[in-house]
Amino acid sequence: MLNTLKELCLLNGVSGEEDEVRWYLANQARKAAPSVHVRTDAIGNLIVFKKGKKSTGNRLMLAAHMDEVGIIVTRITDEGFLKFDFVGGVDRRVAIGKPVVIGHNKVPGVIGLKAIHLTTKEERKKVPKTESLYIDIGAKDKPSAERLVQLGDYGAFVCEPEEFGDGLFKAKAIDDRVGCAVMLKLLEEDLPLDVTFAFTAQEEVGTRGAFGAAFSVTPEIALVLETTTAAGLPGVESHRRVCAPGKGPVISYMDGSAIYDRELFETLRRLSEENGIPWQTKEYIAGGNDARTIQRAKAGVRVAAMSAATRYLHAPASVGSVADFEHMLQLTRLFLAEMAQRLEEGIKIERE
């Protein structure tokens, strides 16, 4: 799975322009299971249905988002620099000096700021506002820049995926290419029941794609495969560290936008403990993901979430644990088997 994750993290798919990622996922899904039904909806979600041993239709959905945070070009200055805004929540403190590529031609650039020797003492105390930043693409003037870049072009961060340290992995867009990688791996396998895989668009700008996906699929249960903020770092109070890479998948009971189905939470917890899979939960209620939108579709959906604890989310480079990624895959397999077993025994997976 790690090689697939590396390939996915090299692709650019800023919210609203997930084409490159969607094409790769659709192609890989068809290779993994030629009989799958693949479709793309109006907002850009990739919906893949694969039949399993137990025929259940669209009752169970797995979801992971394709998109990543990035930038969008808003103006070109007379000097040939690009003014821009962020797409999704990016910490401006970590963007300065970082390399980016712009547009379909992947024009290289660097996010810049006024030189430090030109700033005042007061300016140096503050986080720069987005409007004070620019992208340097090496153009000598506006006409030269316009030959390379257009207004509205997207830009993505540049980071070479690599393993390092004590079983850790760094890359841009781990959020949420790890969920996509888990689902691709499952598509290669014989499934115990029918599963709809929703690779969603525009999660980073308000979980927009998940609404259309859940509305059209109409599942009874959805498991969201995600990443979540890990803050186990020097100087952070223990109760605010949320979770930590290497301690297993994060099984959520609540976050900043959803209260998860308690019975599904207990199922994931029990399966972890019975099968020797380390697990953790959030020690601080914050964040959110596609579950908040899926949960509210039509008459409502029972939702659960499993995430990889990841440091530096929405930064040019994020860090997660390879073991956590593998345990997410293993626990998702067990969850699917559990749902199939319940149906086999005539136990309803929807609420009475």
Q: What domains appear along the chain, each with residue ranges and CATH number? A: 2-68+172-344 (3.40.630.10), 70-157 (2.40.30.40)
Q: Is 189 a catalytic residue?
A: no
What is the spatial distance between Cα 176 and Cα 8, in angstroms, rounded to a whole number?
Answer: 10
Over range 288-296, report the average pLDDT.
94
Percent of the chain's residues with pLDDT above 70: 91
Percent of the chain at pLDDT exceeding 90: 80
Task: Judge if pTM exceeds 0.85.
Answer: yes
pLDDT for position 184: 97
- Given a contact cutoff of 8 angstroms between Cβ atoms, the answer to whether 71 and 154 are in contact is yes
**pLDDT at residue number 65:** 98
Q: Give the pLDDT confidence of 168-199 residue by residue, as tens digits.
A: 999 999 999 999 999 999 999 999 999 999 99
Handedness of CA 254, 221, 190, 268 (dihedral sign): positive
C-alpha distance across the termini of the chain, in Å? 38
**Could you count the other beta carbons within 10 Å of the beta carbon of residue 254?**
14
For residue range 16-47, what is the model confidence (pLDDT) as tens digits? Answer: 999 999 999 999 999 988 889 999 999 999 99
Band of pLDDT at residue 163, cut at 50, 70 and 90 = very high
Q: Are 215 and 61 in contact (CB under 8 A)?
A: no
Active-site residue (options: 203, 204, 220, 226): 203
